[in-house]
Each structure stands twice: as C-alpha cells, then as structure tokens.
Amino acid sequence: MTPRFAAGTQVLVKNDWPEERGPCHIRTPHYLRGRPGRVERVLGAFRNPEDLAFARPAETRVLYHVEFDQPGIFPDGQTPDKLLVEIFEHWLEAA
C-alpha cells in the first residue's frame, strides 16, 4: 500500500463527525478535527481499528505520525511545544 503523504507534508485533519451519524469507534481526537498539521513520518499500513472495534471486515490503511503546534491546539501551549498523534490516512487531506 503506497502512502498518500510523505514526511514533511502539510495536512488537515478532516472536520468530520461520524459519531453524530450513529454508533462508531473513532481514534482521531475531536480536538484535532479541522486542524492543520505536518506528517512527521509514515508508520506503515494496519487494519482499520474503527471497523475492528465492531468485528467488521477492516481495510488496511496507512498510519502516520502527525505533528501539531501546541499553541494552535491548547490555549496554554507554548512555542516550540508540539503534539504528536497517530492518525490514519482516511482522516487526512492535503493542506
């Protein structure tokens, strides 16, 4: 499986709220939805835990470390503090 984003790519976390459409399992933190970040590195391809949580067939999806500036996320965050989060590719779009 070829990653869509390379290290250093600016991305946006999709501003999607599937939990409003019914029961689901989401690994992407709500406070990051709609926020810009930067791909730190590609971690590999793994079965989608959002499907595995419900014992559904799970596609393999690329997982990334995405870095965010803390001041843009948390009011008390200070430069140069960063936040590093694992996010699957289907939650990311090009910035």
Nearest to 5 by CA among 41, 57, 33, 30: 41
pLDDT of residue 4: 98
pLDDT of residue 72: 84
> Is residue 37 domain-resident?
yes
pLDDT of residue 12: 98
Query: Do 4 and 34 contact (CB within 8 A), yes or no?
Result: no
Q: Note the pLDDT tens digit of each residue in 1-30.
A: 899 999 999 999 999 988 888 878 888 999
> Is residue 28 domain-resident?
yes
> Is residue 88 domain-resident?
yes
> Is residue 4 domain-resident?
no
Q: Note the pLDDT tens digit of each residue in 49-85.
A: 999 999 999 999 999 999 999 998 998 999 999 999 9
> Is residue 39 domain-resident?
yes
Question: Chain-wide mean pLDDT for the chain?
Answer: 94
Check which CATH number belongs to the domain holding 27 and give it.
Answer: 2.30.30.50
